[in-house]
Amino acid sequence: MGQDIGDLKATMLLDFCLKEIGPSIYNKAIADAQRYFETKVVDLEGSCYEHEFQYWRQK
């Protein structure tokens, strides 16, 4: 707003923003992490599977 404020007012404003906006940001981050891990778990068998007994098939 173009106004100088003191440390106390700045701290109170920051605390207010963290209390009001913080939970939304946290919930969004948790949802993003959950979506990421769900996509990795879906293909867990494909990404963690190793063919057995391949020594003699190597060229």
User: DSSP characters for the chain?
Assistant: ------HHHHHHHHHHHHHHHHHHHHHHHHHHHHHHHHHHHHTHHHHH---SS-GGG--
**pLDDT digit string (tens) for 38-51?**
988 888 777 777 77
pTM, two decimal places: 0.55
Average pLDDT, the chain: 87
pLDDT at 59: 60
By CB atoms closer than 10 A (0-12, 13-18, 19+), residue 25 is exposed
Give the largest Cα separation in the chain, rounded.
Answer: 76
